[in-house]
Amino acid sequence: MKYNDENSLSCVITLSYYNAINEYTLIRELPMGKGFADITFLPRRHSAKPALLVELKYDQSAQSAIDQIKEKQYPETMKEYKGNLLLVGINYDKEKKEYSCIIEEYMKESIS
């Protein structure tokens, strides 16, 4: 069994979804813009929680995950979504055995 790859990280994030199951619908590999968001958390209708676009990296950087979300225009697919949107970049560094995470609020006025 592998513990140090993007799929393992995805499984950890997916398991965290069980904590938020009443608030979110989770979609893995959702087609977005010019690519696929690794994990998307869409708030259920009754929820006031923000949507999350999650990009996972392995031995890169959390910033490179955020950059990919922006470069591949993932938020463009969410034009009809009226709530808050968070961009989440998570990286696992195999050598250091450390995770890093960046969370950015996406400004709606930047969606054209």
Mean pLDDT by 10 residues, the chain (112 residues): 62 71 88 87 92 93 96 89 92 89 82 44
- The beta-strand segments (E) located in the chain are 24-32, 35-43, 51-58, 85-93, 98-106
- With beta carbons less than 8 A apart as the criterion, state whether 91 and 102 touch: no
Please identify which residue in the block is written with the tokens 């619908």.
25
d(CA 99, CA 61): 9
Domain borders along the chain are: 24-43+54-99
- Whole-structure pTM value: 0.80
CA angle 90, 54, 111 (to 5 degrees): 125
Contacts of 71 (CB under 8 A, 6+ apart): 34
By DSSP bridging, strand 85-93 and strand 24-32 are unpaired
- Predicted pLDDT at 4: 61
Q: How far is CA 63 from CA 26, 81, 85, in A?
A: 23, 24, 17
Q: What single-letter DSSP state applies at residue 96?
A: T
- Predicted pLDDT at 70: 94
User: Which of 17, 18, 19, 37 shows the shortest CA–CA distance to 28?
Assistant: 37
- Predicted pLDDT at 112: 44
- Predicted pLDDT at 111: 45
